[in-house]
Amino acid sequence: MNFYLAFSFLKHALTAHNRRGHGIHSPHLFRLVNDVLPSKNPYYCFEKIEPIRQKLLTNQQVIEMHDLGTKGKKNPRYNVVIQSVAKNTLMPPQEAQQIFRLLVSLEKPCVCVELGTSLGITTAYLAAANSKNKIYTFEGAEKIADIASEMWQKLNLHNIELIRGNINETLPQVLNQLKTPIDFAILDANHTFEATMQYFEHITHHIHQKTIVLVDDIHASGEMYRAWKQICQHALVTATVDMFAFGLVFFDSHYIKQEFIC
């Protein structure tokens, strides 16, 4: 754990006065924080998805990575072992399953946008939550996208649209073609302040009052934490929940403008 992450963890622990939903006035948001996200109840699809994660975590195949994100600034093309990609980029099971439960709790088909497909495990959870969900997932690394696509076929998930290429270019193009607003979005691509804010602004042009945006790795670096704090103060944002590993952003006008730490 680097110094910034250790400092953030300590700060988070010491300032978590709203932990476990204390101070949340909205019954829906309170239920989300206290019942939905902490739930440990397994779903059938977990048993299908997690063995694939384990295979990726032991896969020694070497592929060429074309990284358009943070790590690719100095050397955008390099060789990498799939095992290393899985270890460093996949969202942990607990977090991915929290997102799954969140989508299930919405009790309706959702339009989901995921920025940063990686090897497609989180995408699989988004798709499995409801077969009528429509998932638009964006990935800049061609080989990584190929592996994810093959995995979804094995899981028989057919409600995923994979958008390849530079997200800075593909995101506005795809969003402008959407016929319905976004219900749920994950920002987990280029982990810089500028890119995160740019992605968030694009998303806010295609939301409705009940849209939820998840910003991943908000405590992973100074840039990401700065982006998170700026998002919390955004004019359209009415409530945020800092889960440490990720942050949830809400736009419901019925919520009192407040930041919660859980």
Which CA distances in Å does 149 have to 18, 57, 154, 164, 202? 40, 17, 9, 11, 25
Work out the average pLDDT over 37-63: 95
User: What are the structure tokens assigned to 12, written together?
Assistant: 């988070």
- Which pLDDT belongs to residue 25? 63
Which pLDDT value is given to residue 70? 53
Q: What is the mean pLDDT of residues 112-124?
A: 97
pLDDT score of 257: 84
Is it the case that residue 74 has pLDDT exceeding 80?
no
Looking at residue 22, its pLDDT comes to 55
* pLDDT tens by residue, 1-46: 454 555 454 444 434 444 555 567 678 888 888 889 998 889 999 9
Instruction: Inform me whether the pLDDT recorded for 87 exceeds 90.
Output: yes
- Please give the pLDDT value at position 117: 96
Contact 99, 213 (CB under 8 A): no
Q: Where are the domains of the chain?
A: 3-58+90-261
**Tens of pLDDT, residues 180-235:** 999 999 999 999 999 999 999 999 999 999 999 999 999 999 999 999 999 999 99
Q: What is the pLDDT of residue 69?
A: 58
pLDDT, tens digit (0-9, with 9 covering 90-100), for 128-175: 999 999 999 999 999 999 999 999 999 999 999 999 999 999 999 999
> Is residue 112 over pLDDT 80?
yes
Tokens of 32: 């989300």
Predicted confidence at residue 68, as pLDDT, reads: 63
| In contact, 213 and 248? CB cutoff 8 Å | yes
What's the pLDDT score for residue 72?
46
Q: CATH class for domain 3-58+90-261? A: alpha beta
- Whole-prediction pTM: 0.89
Q: Name which of 172, 112, 162, 173 is nearest 140 in CA terms.
A: 162
